[in-house]
Amino acid sequence: MINVIPASDRHHASHGWLDSYFLFSFADYFDHNNVQWGPLRVFNDDYIKGNSGFPEHAHSEMEIVTIVLEGEVTHTDSLGNNTTIKAGEVQRMSTGTGVRHSEHNHSDQDLHLYQLWFLPNKQGLQPSYEQKAIDFLDDKNELIPIVTGQKVLEDVVYINSNSTIYYANLKEGKEIDFKTFPIRKGLLYVTTGELFVNGIQVQKNDQVRSADVDALRISATADSTFILIDLPGVEANY
């Protein structure tokens, strides 16, 4: 099954200082048919203006991944972390039994980031934090793993989920074959450009949700960047 969801179907929340596009039910947007995909519970495409941000708030029992594409975000939390995550860096916060944090764009430049929440593979975990600079924004013409809980890799952020997040910068005319299993699910989100996924055209900010397939053939008909998430097929519901 290959399901293409066009960019226009994303929920848009505008707050002046924040433009956010929700791929799943979040905040004031709820659709009982669009709550999660496997353990992926939240995927927000956020644009945050300079000198603004999210005040301190609480989280628990969630794996939160932040991928910075442009600009930088300053993070502080109740674990004692006070860090800046720049473009090309990835952050993971395991909220477990509970943590408080804030996120601010203290620069004059606009900030563009993806924030993803995964239901963890185990409840009651001790809260923890990880941040890495990963060379994923450069031209590679391959899938670059940036977050995983499936295997031990260097220079990858660890997550408490049987999932892997890949980033790709694919030049026009190039192609990637991603082998998967029918028991797995996938989500591909186009950051820029235009692709064909198993022969189906997708454009900027479109998403592809896949299940019961053996492989994804991804072809670029223009210079393109995208996120691909490999997920367990069983939904986590706690």
- Mind listing the pLDDT tens digit of every residue in the chain (238 residues)? 999 999 999 999 999 999 999 999 999 999 999 999 999 999 999 999 999 999 999 999 999 999 999 999 999 999 999 999 999 999 999 999 999 999 999 999 999 999 999 999 999 999 999 999 998 998 789 999 999 999 877 789 999 999 999 999 999 999 999 999 999 999 999 999 999 999 999 999 999 999 999 999 999 999 999 999 999 997 655 4
Give the chain's domain count: 1
Torsions phi, psi for 171 (to 5 deg): -75, 155
Residue 237 lies in a domain: no
Helices then strands, counting H and E runs in the chain, come out as 0, 22
Residue 21 lies in a domain: yes
Q: 63-70 and 207-211: which strand pairing?
A: unpaired
Q: Can you give the pLDDT at residue 135?
A: 85
**In CATH, what number is assigned to the domain containing residue 21?**
2.60.120.10
Q: Can you give the pLDDT at residue 154?
A: 78
Residue 193 lies in a domain: yes
- What lies within 8 Å, CB to CB, of 133 at 6+ separation is 86, 88, 89
Q: Can you give the pLDDT at residue 235?
A: 63
Residue 121 lies in a domain: yes
Closest among 117, 118, 137, 134 to 192, alpha carbons compared: 137
Residue 238 lies in a domain: no
Report the distance separating Cα 180 and Cα 7, nearest Å. Answer: 25
Q: Can you give the pLDDT at residue 223?
A: 97
Residue 82 lies in a domain: yes
Residue 201 lies in a domain: yes
**Residue 54 domain boundaries:** 2-232
Q: Can you give the pLDDT at residue 238?
A: 44
Report the distance separating Cα 187 and Cα 199, nearest Å. Answer: 16
CA distances from 154 to 13, 69, 148, 157 (A): 36, 21, 11, 9
Report the distance separating Cα 200 and Cα 187, nearest Å. Answer: 14
Instruction: Confirm if 16 and 23 have CB atoms less than 8 A apart.
Output: no
Supply the pTM of this predicted model.
0.95
Torsions phi, psi for 117 (to 5 deg): -120, 130
For residue 179, count CB atoms less than 10 angstroms from its CB and return exposed for 0-12, middle for 13-18, buried for 19 or more.
exposed
Residue 47 lies in a domain: yes
